[in-house]
Structure 1
Amino acid sequence: MSTHPTQFTKQKQFLVCVDSDGCGMDTMNVKHERFFGPLAADEYGIKNRETFLADWNRINLFSSTRGINRFKALVLTLIEAQEKGEDIGDITALTDWANNAPSLSNASLEAEVAKASSEDLEKALVWSKKVNEGIETELAGEDKPFPGVLEGLTKIHSLTDVAIVSSANSEALNSEWNRHNLMPQVDVVYGQEVGSKADAIADLLTKGYAADEILMVGDAPGDEQAATVNGVFYYPILFGKEEFSWERLSNEAIEKFLNKEYAGAYQEKVLGEFHALLAQFD
């Protein structure tokens, strides 16, 4: 049963951190295709929706920016839309906030709106809240873990501590993971409220794990970066090959990790596959 990060204490020598959308849960594509992109197009009055949505999906799903924070993705896609002639108004305040704020969440955006109200910040907040509402009310029952996740997590949790490290909000994470009986295999949840994934791993390092005793499991370059800046290991879930990736994690990679044989050639091999997959779309 998971606890809040402030109450979490280390139980085992090793820790495995797992991202949710697109990694543990098969929810990433549907969230972007049904909610994030279309609701952004609605909110900003996009005329050429087909082009905008194709750009949104490329930026968020099929490129080296896969998994980027929603507000950074919004800025990137709106800038492309502007360059293609869309009239979306002034997004200077939103761009500055998304590029410089220490935390990118609805709560931090609400605080920014209260401090320095501007139309583009308010519009982004409305959009983000509509996305959360749509996901929570319409997606329940459609979300599911990738094949092999429950079996893999059950095996891994018998050997290591397990943390969810995600940019989704904790309420949604608890709802989805409990609905599919995954939460009993999780010790602690780090959602967007805690900060970035890098912040989450940094906090977990203070719990007493050595850097070579933490493995971050994710599906996006941001997950790899969060691991790298903290000096911990990274294992990629390859999009389109999720079942294979989970099977390899639980049957091969976890053993390498626990035996302290993950560094070097093995990690280079799995990272090479990950980078080659992303390069196909850039």
Structure 2
Amino acid sequence: MSTHPAQFTKQKKFLVCVDSDGCAMDTMNVKHERFFGPLAADEYGIKDRETFLADWDRINLFSSTRGINRFKALVLTLIEAQEKGEDIGDISALTDWANNAPSLSNASLEAEIAKASSEDLEKALVWSKKVNEGIETELAGEDKPFPGVLEGLTKIHGLTDVAIVSSANSEALNSEWNRHNLMPQVDVVYGQEVGSKADAIADLLTKGYAANEILMVGDAPGDEQAATVNGVFYYPILFGKEEFSWERLSNEAIEKFLNKEYAGAYQEKVLGEFHALLAQFD
């Protein structure tokens, strides 16, 4: 069973880090299509909703910014809307905070508002809380892991330590993963409260793993970047090919990782597939 990062200690030689939304859990598309995008359009009084929502989905799901932090995504989409003539008001304080804050979460936004309140920061917080409320109250029972995730995690957890490394909040992660019996295969949960995914991996490196003993499993460029800045390996879950990706992870990639055969040609092959898929939409 999982523990808090502060109490977690290394048990096995190797560690596999797993993202949640869009990687292990088939929740990413529905969260953006039903909550993130539409609630942002509501909160900012968007007139051309069709264009705004198409831009939202492209930025968050179908491009090289897939999986970006919600507040960074909000800024990017609002700037595009502004350029297309939407009147969304002044978002300079939000833009500055989203681009420069060391941690991007509801709690850190509340702290920023306490220091220097502004209408655009408060509006972003209202939106983010509505998103969380909608997901927690309306999606329970609809969320599900991708095919092969439980089997794959069970096999992997028999061989390595397993950490969730996600930009979702830990409460939601625990709820979703427990509901689908995935949490028994997890040793520690790093949610958005800990900081970025790169921060999470950096902290895990202090637990005693060598960099070449950690594999990050994700579905977005931000996951790859978090792995790269920490010098650890990355394995991509290809969107639209999630079941295949999990089968290959548990039946092929994990063996190469444990045998120190992952670096070089194998990682280059799987990363090439990942980048080619993203490039179709940029």
User: TM-score, structure 2 length as denominator?
Assistant: 1.00
Q: Could you tell me how far apart the structure 1 residues matched to 2:6 and 2:174 are?
A: 17
Between the aligned partners of 2:198 and 2:92, the Cα distance in structure 1 is 26
- Shift of residue 195, structure 1, vs aligned partner: 0.1
After TM superposition, what 4+ stretches of structure 1 lie above 3 angstroms from structure 2?
Answer: none
Q: Unaligned 5+ residue runs, structure 2? A: none
The structural deviation recorded for 1:16 is 0.1
The CA distance in 1 between the partners of 2:97 and 2:196, in whole Å, is: 15
- Paired with 1:135 and 1:78, the residues of 2 have a C-alpha distance of 22
Matched position secondary structure for 2:2: coil
Supply the distance in 2 between the matched residues of 1:111 and 1:205 (Cα, whole angstroms).
Answer: 28
Question: How far does residue 29 in structure 1 lie from its aligned partner after superposition?
Answer: 0.1
Q: CA deviation at 1:171?
A: 0.1
What are the superposed Cα offsets for residues 154-188 of structure 1, whole Å, 9 maximum, x if unpaired? 00000000000000000000000000000000000
CA shift, 1:199, in A, is 0.1
CA distance in 1 between partners of 2:134 and 2:111 (Å): 23
Residue 274 of structure 1 deviates from its aligned partner by 0.1
Measured in 1, the distance between the counterparts of 2:24 and 2:71 equals: 22
Q: Deviations over 1:98-157 (max 9, x none)?
A: 000000000000000111000000000000000000000000000000000000000000
Distance 1:198 1:148 in 2: 26
Deviation at 1:13, TM superposition (A): 0.1
In structure 2, distance between residues paired with 1:38 and 1:106: 19
Task: Return the alpha-carbon distance in structure 2 between the equivalents of residues 63 and 100 of structure 1.
Answer: 23
Number of the residue aligned with 2:196: 196
- Aligned-residue offset at 1:200: 0.1
Unaligned runs of 5+ in 1: none
Cα deviation per residue 1:210-257 (whole Å; 9 max; x = unaligned)? 000000000000000000000000000000000000000000000000
- Aligned-partner Cα distance in 2 for 1:178–1:51: 37
User: Aligned residue for 2:256?
Assistant: 256
1:95 aligns with 2:63: no
- Measure the CA separation in 2 of the matches of 1:114 and 1:206: 33
Equivalent runs, 1:13-32 vs 2, <5 Å: 13-32=13-32
CA distance in 2, matches of 1:221, 1:194: 20
How far the C-alpha of 1:87 sits from its partner, in A, is 0.1
- Name the structure 1 match of 2:178: 178
Separation in 2 of the partners of 1:43 and 1:191? 26
Supply the distance in 1 between the matched residues of 2:228 and 2:84 (Cα, whole angstroms). Answer: 35
Q: Matched residues, percent identical?
A: 97
Rounded Cα–Cα distance in structure 2 between residues aligned with 1:219 and 1:205: 21
Map 1:97-112; keep pairs closer than 5 Å.
97-112=97-112
CA distance in 2, matches of 1:204, 1:117: 35
Q: Distance in 1 between matches of 2:225 and 2:132?
A: 26
**Equivalent position of 1:146 in the other structure:** 146
Q: Secondary structure at the match of 2:140?
A: coil
- SS of aligned partner of 2:87: coil
**Partner Cα separation in structure 2 for residue 108 and residue 230 of structure 1:** 24
How many residue pairs get matched? 282
